[in-house]
Amino acid sequence: MNTAVYNVGLPKSDLPFMQKLAKRMGWTLSEAVPGDALFDPESGEYLNAETMRAIRDAEAGVGVRQAESIDELISAL
């Protein structure tokens, strides 16, 4: 069978309709995953956008504090 792959953005409220339509038409649907998303083996799912943003912020040093000792860290909190 000759197939084509498309990415379609649709509101989450329309997803049940799209799933029914896909089943009737013999299509296959799969959720797109961003290229930089990390897989969580414990949950079996990809990390959500908010978690990915927090990881990127930590990597970039946004909101990260450095302390010389544990006492300094505790006093800063």
Where in the chain are the domains? Answer: 12-76
Residue type at 49? A
pLDDT tens, residue by residue, 28-39 = 888 776 666 777
**Looking at residue 26, what DSSP letter applies?**
T
Whether the pLDDT of residue 17 is over 90: the answer is yes
Phi-psi region at 31: left, alpha or beta (left = phi > 0; alpha = psi -120 to 50): beta
Q: Of 4-13, 20-29, 30-39, 55-64, which range is least confident?
A: 30-39
Tokens of 58: 């930590």
**Single pTM value for the model:** 0.43
pLDDT of amino acid 1: 64
Mention every residue, 6+ apart, whose C-beta is less than 8 A from residue 50: none
- Closest CA relative to residue 29, chosen from 17, 41, 45: 17
